[in-house]
Amino acid sequence: MLEIDTIEEAAARVASASRIMVVGSSGAGKSTLSRYIAAHRDLDYVSIDRDVRWISGWAQRGRDEQHRILQEIVSRDRWVLDGSNPSTFEMRLPRTQLVIWMRLPRVSCMMGVAKRVARHYGTVRPEMADGCREKLPDMEFLGYIWHFEKRHAPVFIRNFDLYGPDVPIFQVKSRAQASALLDLIGAAH
C-alpha cells in the first residue's frame, strides 16, 4: 500500500488526479467528499450506489449488469468514484490515480448515518438511485458499520496491494482532517 502522509500532499494529488476513488464505511463522509472534489475539479461524480448497484425500491441490479456499467464508467478519463465494494477493486484500481480512504472511527460513522437519516428520512438522497428512499437502518447495516474496521479493512488492504500497489492512498481518520482536506482543495481552485 502506497500511503500519502500529509493532508497537503493529498490535496496536491487531488489537484492533479483525474480518476479518484473514495472508499470507506457507510457514514464516513464518502459522498460529501466525492461530490466536493468532483465539483472543484470538474470531474464526473459517480455514486456506485446510485449509478451501478441499486434500482428503484432498493432492488439490486444483476452482478453482470453492475460490472458492465462499472467497466464503462472506469474506462472514462475523468471521474470521482464514491463507493466501497472491494469486489470491484479489481476493475477500478488499475484505472485509479488516487484513493481517499475515509477511515473514521466507527462512532463517527454511526453519527454520520444518524445525521443522514435525520436529514433525508423518507426522501431519496442525491447519491442514491431513484425510488430508494432513506430508511431507518436495520441491525445488519449498523453491524456492518460497527465491525467495518475489523472485517473489511483487511480486505481493502489486500485488494490495494493486489490491484493497485502503485496507487497512492490517503487515509482520512477524522472529521477535522476531512474538513482540512476540503479547505485545501477549495483553496487550490
pLDDT at site 139: 95
- In the block, residue with C-alpha cell 477493486: 89
Asked whether residue 188 carries a pLDDT value surpassing 80, the answer given is no
Residue ranges of the domains in the chain?
2-188
Quote the CA–CA distance of 169 and 159 in Å, as a whole number.
Answer: 12
Answering whether pTM is above 0.85, one says yes
Asked whether residue 51 carries a pLDDT value surpassing 90, the answer given is yes
CA distances from 30 to 22, 38, 63, 64, 84 (A): 6, 12, 23, 25, 9
Q: What is the pLDDT of residues 67-91, one digit of tens each?
A: 999 999 999 999 999 999 888 999 9
Cβ proximity of 57 and 68 under 8 Å: no
Quote the CA–CA distance of 12 and 6 in Å, as a whole number.
Answer: 10
Q: What is the pLDDT of residues 110-149, one digit of tens each?
A: 999 999 999 999 999 988 989 999 999 999 999 999 999 9
> In 10 A of CB 185, how many CB atoms?
21
pLDDT at site 126: 87
Q: Does domain 2-188 have CATH number 3.40.50.1370?
A: no
pLDDT at site 1: 81
Q: Which residues pair with 55 in a beta bridge?
A: 59
Q: CA geometry: angle at 11 spanning 50 and 95, to 5°?
A: 50
Q: What does the chain come to in residues? A: 189
Quote the CA–CA distance of 81 and 44 in Å, as a whole number.
Answer: 8
Q: What is the pLDDT of residues 34-49, one digit of tens each?
A: 999 999 999 999 999 9
Q: What is the pLDDT of residues 141-187, one digit of tens each?
A: 999 999 999 999 999 999 999 999 999 999 999 999 999 999 999 88
Asked whether residue 189 carries a pLDDT value surpassing 70, the answer given is no
